[in-house]
């Protein structure tokens, strides 16, 4: 299976966040979400919320996010870099301008959890993504109806769907239950796209249990926790070691 890793742009600072991204990509991630921090991310657990606030308090601005994507895209040309953020950030920057700058930074796609799918796409975000060849990655839930899944799948310009494994916020561990496996199996029969499952995936044991039910998995809070532990006063790894620490953390999920 493939991995979509996740990092908070600007946490704990710009250069360190780039090192975190480097480590995740060197560890074997195929995709990397670069989260542009927002003060009130309604899908974020406490680890991501706190890291986002640290980034904002340290002066992060939206243009910094595109610089981070650009830096990592140049170093890892085969990796797919995805901007992830919330509607407020995109509206404040300008929808067209935000998507244009993802493309200019050699980014691959966009995840915006609070831009829910509607048939008329009244915000225009999906049409702009399609016009600029930026993949807009849609979120569905494990309990989405067959009709809803087919509707979203047929309209998406991305090669994958993001399946939210459970209700609530990120961070807490998700039980890889028979019901979840059955839902993923159903979704795979309804869609020709790759299926990636996320929310609460934080161990190799969970990944093994998902084998055969999904094409990939998405991991967020786990990487924030790994970075926080590496950067704590007790550990205080050198800058060069941060890449290694995150590489090892990534490989422990995949291998």
**Run of H or E residues at 18:** helix 14-26
75 is catalytic: no
Written as six digits, the tokens of 247 are 């590489």
Written as six digits, the tokens of 161 are 């769907």
What is the spatial distance between Cα 216 and Cα 3, in angstroms, rounded to a whole number?
6
Please give the distance of CA 177 from its chain centroid, rounded to a whole number: 23
Asked whether the beta carbons of 6 and 232 are under 8 A apart, the reply is: no
Find the length of the chain: 255
- Residue of 19, 40, 44, 64 with catalytic role: 44
- Residue of 33, 64, 167, 175 with catalytic role: 33
Helix residue spans in the chain (DSSP H): 14-26, 46-57, 62-75, 87-93, 95-104, 125-132, 146-155, 178-190, 204-210, 221-231, 239-254
In the numeric block, the tokens 């961070």 are attached to 171
Asked whether the beta carbons of 55 and 49 are under 8 A apart, the reply is: no
Please give the distance of CA 114 from its chain centroid, rounded to a whole number: 14
The DSSP string of 71-94 is HHHHH-TTSEEEEE--HHHHHHH-
64 is catalytic: no
Catalytic residues: 33, 44
């Amino acid at each position: 299976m493939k991995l979509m890793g996740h990092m908070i742009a600007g946490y704990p600072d710009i250069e360190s966040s780039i090192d975190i991204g480097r480590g995740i990509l060197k560890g074997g991630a195929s995709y990397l979400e670069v989260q542009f921090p927002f003060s009130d991310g309604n899908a974020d657990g406490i680890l991501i919320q706190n890291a986002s606030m640290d980034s904002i308090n340290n002066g992060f601005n939206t243009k910094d996010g595109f610089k981070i994507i650009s830096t990592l895209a140049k170093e890892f040309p085969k990796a797919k870099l995805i901007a992830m953020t919330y509607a407020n950030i995109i509206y404040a920057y300008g929808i067209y301008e935000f998507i244009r700058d993802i493309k200019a930074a050699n980014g691959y796609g966009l995840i915006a959890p609070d831009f829910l799918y509607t048939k008329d796409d009244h915000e225009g975000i999906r049409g702009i993504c399609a016009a600029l060849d930026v993949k807009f990655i849609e979120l569905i839930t494990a309990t989405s109806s067959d009709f809803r899944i087919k509707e979203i799948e047929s309209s998406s310009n991305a090669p994958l769907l993001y399946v939210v494994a459970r209700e609530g916020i990120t961070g807490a561990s998700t039980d890889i239950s028979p019901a979840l496996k059955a839902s993923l199996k159903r979704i795979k029969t309804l869609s020709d796209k790759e299926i990636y499952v996320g929310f609460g995936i934080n161990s190799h044991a969970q990944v093994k249990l998902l084998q055969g039910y999904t094409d990939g998995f998405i991991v967020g809070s786990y990487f924030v926790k790994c970075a926080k532990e590496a950067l704590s006063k007790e550990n205080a790894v050198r800058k060069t070691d941060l890449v290694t620490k995150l590489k090892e953390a990534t490989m422990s999920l995949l291998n």
